[in-house]
Amino acid sequence: MRALFALTACATLALAAPVAAKDYGQHGALFVVTEPDLLMSIQSRLKRLEADGSLERMNREMAERTERKVRRPDPVAGMTKAQSLRSWTYDPAIVIDKDIKDTAGNIIVKAGQRANPLDFIQVRQALVFIDGDDREQLRWALASYTAENAKIIMVKGAPLDAMTAHQRQFFFDQGGYLVDRFGIRAVPAIVTQAGKVMKVREGTVKDLSR
């Protein structure tokens, strides 16, 4: 009983003891945190640009840059003019990483199987790659191929201007995707189907005319 009383008394004294507090002073500068409304700042900036005509000028310059890029895309990097004949084949077959099913859910190609798109389609048009700024290459392509048997693809030049001048559709290999795929490094070059592979020929106009 005495032990219980002693424990209770100690607890009471502990709770009743004053808590010591100490002022450690101020350390460093204090700033008021202010956070401007981002949307209002943007709107204010746009109003100033609109008022002095800067916004209209920026829009016009952007439209002009976009039109220039469309009319004359960036040339495919690393392309040169062919000096000699070079030929090889490109195999488009790939290994499927997962099952391919038809609309009914039936597996038509199993994962791990080697599939060749040329087993299912036929490439009827030749792909003719040229430098659209090279008049000799452009004249040769137009004289040698019709719109029905070939697609003329530029790696440099102005395809829209060529369409207007020659009343024929031209294409442009944006970013060099196709020439990289086929391994083409010089133009003119021709890609045609040869059975289950694509045959690629790269050479001078004279070489490719034979």
- Dihedrals φ, ψ of 187, to 5°? -130, 155
151: tokens are 């697609």
| Averaged pLDDT, 13-28 | 50
- Dihedrals φ, ψ of 199, to 5°? -95, 130
List, in sequence order, every residue forming a beta bridge with 190; answer none if it has no partner: 128, 201
Q: Which of the pair, 197 or 32, is modelled with greater confidence?
A: 197
Least confident of 75-84, 102-111, 196-205: 102-111
Q: Are 129 and 192 in contact (CB under 8 A)?
A: no
Q: What is the DSSP letter of 74?
A: P
Q: Which of the pair, 31 or 76, is modelled with greater confidence?
A: 76
Give just the sign of the alpha carbon dihedral 114, 115, 116, 119.
Answer: positive
Residues 175, 188: Cα–Cα separation, whole Å: 17
Res 160 pLDDT > 80: yes
Structural domains for the chain? 80-92+121-209 (3.40.30)
The per-residue pLDDT for range 164-209, each reduced to its tens digit, is 999 999 999 999 999 999 999 999 999 999 999 999 999 999 999 9
